[in-house]
Amino acid sequence: MTSPILEARGLVKHFTLSAGMFGTGATVRAVDGVSFSVEPGKTLAIVGESGSGKTTTARLVLLLEEPTGGSIHYQGERVSIDGDREVLKRYRRSVQAVFQDPYSSLSPRMRVKDIIAEPLRIHNDMSGSELEDRVAELLEEVGVSPGRAKHYPHQFSGGQAQRIAIARALALRPQLIVLDEPVSALDMSIRAQILNLLVGLQARFGLSYLLISHDLSMVEHMSHDVGVMYAGQLVEFTDAERLYRDPQHPYTEALLAAVPSLDPDVPLGNIVGGEVANPANLPTGCRFHPRCPLRTELGSPPICETSDPVTAKVKKDSSRLCACHFRGSDRIGTDHDRPEKSGSVHQA
Amino acid sequence: MSDVTRSSETLLEVVDLRTFINTRQGVLKAVDGASFTVRRGETVGLVGESGSGKTMTCLSVMRLLPVASAEIVAGEVWFDGKNLLEASEAEMRRVRGRDIALIMQDALAALSPVLSIGEQVGEPLRHHFSYSDADVRSRVIEVLDAVKIPRPSERLDEYPHQFSGGMRQRIVAAMGLGTSPSLMLADEPTTALDVTIQAQFIMLIREVQESTGMSVLWVTHDLGVVAQTCDRVNVMYAGRIVESGEVRRILKRPLHPYTIALMESVPSIGTKREKLYQIPGQAPDLRNLGAGCPFYARCPARMDICENEFPSATDDGAGGFVHCWAVSQ
C-alpha cells in the first residue's frame, strides 16, 4: 500500500459561543475526533448534512482554522499554522482549494488573468511573457478561452467562473485540491461539465481530491473512498464501491434511503425522523441514537446511550470504520472482550 | 383549450402564458407560451434550470410578478372555472392564500422574524375567514400538528429563529395549509433542505394530499424529487414547455433531446458511469431568442429546420406531448 498524501489524526475543533447578553458560553463541538487519510491520485469524499462538521474539517485541512486537537500530516510531515515556516510554505503551494460559489471566491475587482497570475507571482516569482503564457495555458486547461483573460468574474456564467477558480487552484501544480461543494451552486446541465473536467484533470496530473459534499449521487460518481460525518464525527469510512453496495452504519443507510431515486417505481426508503444533533448540546453515547432506526428495532439497548461507539471503536487500521455498536465487521473486539456490554445488548 | 380539457377534473389550466420582462437590453421572454394543466388531487412537476421560467410561471398564476417591468402579455390562467388573468385585484386577494397557497424555497425569507409563528400561521385565517381568536388558535395548533411541529400548543408563541431549517419550511407549509387550499404552488420547497429533511417534507406533503385531496404544482430542478412526488411532469427550457407527460414515461422514456441529456448528465446512485453526458454550452440569452427551438445550439439531434421554426407539439401516445422536430419527423 502506498503511503497517504494527507492524513488527519484525531482532528478536533471546538468553538465557544460568546457568553454575552444572549450567549450561553456553550461549546460547539463542530469536529470531534476525525481521522482519515487521502491516497495519492485518489478522491476521498466527506459527506454529511449541514451541521455535520464537513466544512470545518475542510477548513482545518486547509489550515484556515487552528485545530483544538489532533494533527494534519502531509506526506508524512506534520503541518500546522504555527509550525515550521518552510514546511508551511510548501504545504500552501501543494494544497489548493475550490469553493462552492465562484462569484464569492473570485475577487470581483480583479481581472481573470490577475486572479490566476496572483499565486504564480507570489510563489514562483513569475512575470512577463512567461506569466502570460502560463495563465493562457491554465485557462485552456480548464476550457476557458484565453481571449477572455481581461474580463472580470461577473462577466462569466457560473460554470465558466468555476472553471476559472479551478484554473487558479491548478496554477502552482498542486498535488491535493480540497473541493468544497464544487458544483452545488451550478445548474444541472453545467454540473456534468465541471465534474468531467475535475475527473479529467485528476487523471492527467495525478491529483488527489478531498471532496466535501452533501450530494450522495455525485459523491458515488467522483470518489474512491468515502467518509460519512454526523455531528462532528466520522461514523463510517470505507471505499465508495462498498459504501454504496453495503452501507453498514444506520445513519449511512438512512442517508442513502433519503436520496430520491430517478426511478418513480423505487420509492423513498425508510425515512429517519428528527434532525441533525445540535453540536452545542450533543446526545450522550452514540450521537445518532435519538434518531436511529436500528436502535428502535433492537429495543433501545442502553449501550447506545451510554457509550460513544466512535471512541469505543478506535482501531489501528483506518481503512474501514463503522462507528456503531451493532454494525460493521470491526465490532469492538469479540464478545468475551466486553462481557458486560454485549450482555447489555439484549437486556432492554 | 377545448371544453374537454377544461373538465371539472381540471383544477388549473394555463394556456399559452407569456410573461415578459422589459430590461434596458431589450425584452426578456421569461415565459414564452407555456401551457399545462393540474387536475384535482394531482401533483404536477415543473422542471427546469434557473432561468427556464418556472418561478415566473408560478408568480404569473398568482399574479404576483416581482418587478414593475414584468408583464403578462398573453395567455389564460383558468382556476376552478375562472380566468385569473381577468379577475379583479379584489378577487385575486380572495384566491391568494385561500384557494391557492404559494411556498417558496427560502423559508427564512418567507417568515417575519418579529412575529410569532402562531401569528403568521394564523394570518391567512384571520384575513380570509371571520374566525374568532380562539378558533384561529385551535386551527393553528391543528395545522402545526399536521406538519409535525412537536408540542404545537406551546411552540406557537415562539419565533422563527427558534426553529431549525427543516421546521421552518414546515411552518411555511403550515401557513399555506391552514385555509385548506385546493392548490399548492411549491417552488423548490426542499432545495435548501438536507436529504433526510427533504424526504420528511415530501412524505408530509403526500400525507396532506391524501387527507385533503389538494393538488400540487411542484417546481424543482431535481429529477429525483420529480420521480418521488409527481404524477405528471412538464419540462421547461428557456420559457417554453418542451416536453410534458406522465412521470414514468418522461423519466423512463424521455423524448426531447434536452430531457434525455438531463437524465444522462445527472449522477444517480447505483448507475455508475465512466463519464457523465455533458450538455455543451449554456442556456440561451432570453432577450435574444430566435424563432427556432431554444435548445438548438446545444442539441445533439438538431437539424436545419430547428434553427428557424419552433416545432408544434407531437403526441407521445400516452396523454403527453413533446416539441421536437427530431421526434415529429
Q: Do A188 and B166 touch (CB under 8 A)?
A: no
Residue with cell 461543494: A181
Name which of A187, A217, A276 is nearest B267 (Cβ-Cβ): A217
B17 pLDDT higher than 90: yes
Measured between beta carbons, the chain B residues lying within 8 angstroms of A202 are none
Contacts with B239 (C-beta within 8 Å, 6 or more apart), sequence order: B29, B30, B31, B32, B33, B34, B52, B53, B286, B289, B294
Phi/psi of residue A228, nearest 5 degrees:
-105, 125
Look at B279 and A259 and tell me if their CB atoms are within 8 Å: no
Query: The whole model's pTM is what?
Result: 0.88
* Predicted confidence (pLDDT) per residue in A127-170, tens digit: 999 999 999 999 999 999 999 999 999 999 999 999 999 999 99
For residue B1, is pLDDT > 50?
Answer: no
Are B42 and B60 in contact by the 8 Å Cβ rule? The answer is no
Three-state DSSP class for residue A214? coil
Nearest to B19 by CA among B30, B35, B3: B30
pLDDT category at B207 given cuts 50, 70, 90 is very high
- Report CB contact under 8 Å: A188, B248: no
Q: Which burial class, exposed, middle or buried, applies to B160 when counting CB atoms under 10 A from its CB (0-12, 13-18, 19+)?
A: buried
Q: Domain-by-domain residue ranges, chain A?
A: 6-235, 247-345
Superfamily name and number for A6-235 = P-loop containing nucleotide triphosphate hydrolases (3.40.50.300)
B225 to chain A: nearest residue by CA?
A260
As beta bridge partners, residue B43 has B216
Average the pLDDT over A186-202 and give the result: 94
| Count of C-beta atoms within a 10 Å radius of residue A324 | 26
**Of residues B170 and B273, which shows the higher confidence score?**
B170
* Domain limits, chain B: 10-99+181-328
pLDDT, mean of residues B56-62: 96
Report residue B319: phi and psi, to 5°: 90, 0
DSSP character string of B52-66: SSHHHHHHHHHT--S
Kindly give, in sequence order, each residue whose CB lies less than 8 Å from that of residue A60, ignoring residues fewer than 6 positions away: A8, A11, A13, A31, A67, A72
User: Widest CA span of chain B, in angstroms?
Assistant: 67
How far does A346 lie from chain B, in Å, by closest CA?
A: 29
Note whether B275 contacts A199, CB cutoff 8 Å.
yes
* CA contacts within 13 A on the Cβ side of B98: 13
Q: At which residue does the C-alpha cell 383544477 appear? A: B11
Instruction: Identify the CA nearest to B265 among candidates A189, A197, A259.
Output: A189
How do residues B70-116 score in pLDDT, each as one tens digit?
999 999 999 999 999 999 999 999 999 999 999 988 888 889 999 99
Distance of alpha carbon B19 from alpha carbon B32, whole angstroms: 7
* pLDDT on residue B7: 52
- Residue carrying C-alpha cell 391552514: B178
ipTM for the predicted complex: 0.86
Looking at domain B10-99+181-328, its CATH superfamily turns out to be P-loop containing nucleotide triphosphate hydrolases (3.40.50.300)
B contacts of A191 (beta carbons < 8 Å) = 265-266
